[in-house]
Amino acid sequence: MLRFLPIFLLILWGCQPIHQTEIYRFDNIVVTKYPTNPPPAFPQSFFPDKVNLLQSSEFKTSHIHTKEASLLLESEESFQAIQKRIETRAAQGDWKLIEKTEKNGEVSYLLEGFIKKSLSIIVSESGGSSNYIRFYFRKHSSY
């Protein structure tokens, strides 16, 4: 019986769900489930080192200019480490921290960037081994 245990564990490990990327396009809106890359509007220096991208959306005014975007990701980094990373990154100067709100196991950040851009980050503490981070980007000007 014990000699079949490694084979059983190998089969069980191989049965882990594999997430397929799904892309939906509606004129200037692109919604992606399990994207391979985040939308370029988000500064990736706010991201934890290891993340699972779960969902993204982008609204573009033209082929290259993003007007609004959202991103949901999952990280095994601790809740406190994620907060520290965001606050340290915001202190670098190109994104100004406007507001920080803590409520019911969530921390929300509102940041303002150059050329009338805003970035909201919501970090949700989960009871498990991973935490969820939602990013919202908006460009308030047409240039």
* CATH at residue 81: 3.30.310
Task: Please tell me the predicted confidence (pLDDT) of residue 112.
Answer: 93
| 109 inside domain | yes
| Backbone conformation region of residue 105, classed left if phi is above 0, alpha if psi is from -120 to 50, else beta | left
Alpha-carbon span 107 to 124, nearest angstrom:
7
| 3 inside domain | no
Count how many domains the chain has: 1
| 5 inside domain | no
| 30 inside domain | yes
| 34 inside domain | yes
Q: Are 121 and 69 in contact (CB under 8 A)?
A: no
| 100 inside domain | yes
Q: Which residues, at least 6 apart from 38, have a Cβ–Cβ distance to it below 8 Å? A: 44, 47, 53, 56, 71, 73
Q: What residues does 2 pair with on adjacent strands?
A: none
Alpha-carbon span 58 to 81, nearest angstrom:
28
Query: Among 73, 53, 56, which Cα is nearest to 126's?
Result: 73
Quick one: 54 exposed, middle or buried, by C-beta within 10 A (0-12, 13-18, 19+)?
Answer: middle
Range of 98's domain? 18-139
| 120 inside domain | yes
Q: Which residues, at least 6 apart from 35, have a Cβ–Cβ distance to it below 8 Å? A: 21, 53, 55, 56
| 55 inside domain | yes
pLDDT by residue for the chain (143 residues), tens digit each? 445 444 544 454 455 566 789 999 988 899 999 999 998 888 889 999 889 999 999 998 877 788 999 999 999 999 999 999 999 999 988 899 999 999 988 999 999 988 889 999 999 987 778 899 999 999 987 65
Q: 3-state SS of the chain: helix, strand, coil percent to 5?
A: 20, 45, 35
Q: pTM of the prediction?
A: 0.82
